[in-house]
Amino acid sequence: MRRTQVGIVGAGPAGLVLSHLLYRQGIESVVLESRTREYVQERVRAGVLEQNTVDLLTDLGVGERMRREGLVHRGIELRFQGRGHRIDFDELTGGRAITIYAQAEVIKDLIDARLAAGQPIVFEAENVSVHNLEGPRPSIQFRKDKDSEPEELFCDFIAGCDGFHGVCRPSIPNEALTVYERGYPFAWLGILAEAPPSSEELVYSHHDRGFALLSMRSRQLSRLYLQCPGDENINDWPDERIWQELRTRLACDGWTLTEGPILQKGITEMRSWVVEPMQFGRLFLAGDSAHIVPPTGAKGLNLAVADVRILARAIAEFYSSGSCGLLDTYSDTCLRRVWKVQRFSWWMTSMLHRFDSDNAFDRRRQLGELDYVTSSRAAAQSLAENYVGLPME
């Protein structure tokens, strides 16, 4: 039998950043992760860090490699009708920027630093389950591996940082939660290619055949996405078909797409999803376990980090003063940001994608919106302040 102050389920961005924030305040935690260390460090996912996220990682002392290897971008391009239009973050937000640094690299840095500090992460934890959530001493049951005896970890609080398919949220009675959701009739096909990025900055392209996005992971690696039908089979997309479609959708006068060997490809579903409240008794949900945004605008990871920042502050207040004030308002505080980020991600998705149900009016309206956003300073500024990250509470 063991005990800790905070039991953290999941070693994704939410769980690992939380463990560092707590450690800095002298609060003990144990992180339990069902996958191997290699798996969580190699998973290809997000790549855009908001200024807030960069500042926090730096502050936590895990930003050294990010500062060396990350690419700082001060704008993005919106492309439509074959022309590009730059949104200048620097000028529109008073000098704020984003950093391109892969989620997998963030995870590596967070794991290295936690293990170097001698703090526990249990990888490959089996049969993880959470109990007594409404009492003063919740617990997490798990096995260290398939052959070992079940263990029980008693905690003051449990942080459910185990993503959309985790066990924490489903352990809360249905009647205690309300779900808000919206699906999209399309997905993103993403590739990682060994090719120097064809543009300095990210390009979001609206095209009659569907959306395309040019992003990158480094000066040698491009990350590209294509809107595709929701039920698409990746086997129907040989490399040449992907490049052909990217060339068509990203086409722009005087610009060519750099191609190279495709190292990885996959399809990502798109949905907007929120559960309220983000707390049940002493279980606090954070990140993808409580909400999912469609990827347009790159907010998923950043929102997960914003949640745990609020949670760490609330837990620290509890230990320093005995007050539950910030814990009681945790869910409401997070949800104010969550809904603003949901709005932004839905809006970027709606403006840039092709919806088959749209009629000719809707298509002209979409172009009108893109023209507005790229020609009005007020509209461009609204996009920019959301993209670089709204201020923290």
DSSP state of 162: S
In angstroms, how far is the first alpha carbon of the chain from the final one? 38
According to the binding rule CB under 6 A, does residue 223 interact with ligand DHB? yes
Cα–Cα dist 352/282, whole Å: 40
Site for ligand FAD in 99-128 (CB under 6 A): 103, 125, 128
Return the range that interacts with ligand FAD (CB under 6 A); candidates 8-16, 91-99, 229-237, 309-317. 8-16
DSSP-derived secondary structure letter, 264? E
Decide if 22 contacts 313 (C-beta within 8 A): no
Stretch that binds ligand DHB, among 113-121, 154-162, 289-297, 367-375 (CB under 6 A): 289-297
139 is an interface residue for ligand DHB by CB under 6 A: no
The amino acid sitting at 180 is Y
The residue within the footprint of ligand FAD, chosen from 6, 8, 9, 334 (CB under 6 A), is 9
- Reduced to 3 states (helix: H, G, I; strand: E, B; else coil), residue 31 is strand
- List the one residue from 7, 12, 47, 160 that touches ligand DHB (CB under 6 A): 47
Question: Considering the complex, what minimum distance in angstroms separates the CB of residue 120 from ligand DHB?
Answer: 30
CB of 385 to ligand DHB, least distance (A): 16
Q: Looking at the annotation, which residues are catalytic?
A: 73, 204, 295, 299, 387
Q: How far is the CB of 291 from ligand DHB (least distance, A)?
A: 15
Among 62, 297, 309, 331, binds ligand DHB (CB under 6 A): 297
Between 9 and 27, name the residue whose CB sits nearer to ligand FAD.
9
* 361 token code pair: 């009016």
In sequence order, the 6+-apart residues with CB closer than 8 A to the CB of 144 are 122, 124, 125, 126, 151
Supply the Cα-derived Rg of the chain in whole angstroms: 21
Of 259, 217, 179, 190, residue with least CA distance to 47: 217
Looking at the DSSP assignment, which residues form a beta bridge with residue 203? 77, 214
By CB under 6 A, name the binding residues for ligand FAD: 9-15, 32-35, 40, 45-46, 103, 125, 128, 161-163, 166-167, 268, 287-288, 295, 298-301, 304
Residues lying near ligand DHB in the complex (CB under 6 A) are found at 46-48, 202, 213, 215, 223, 295-298
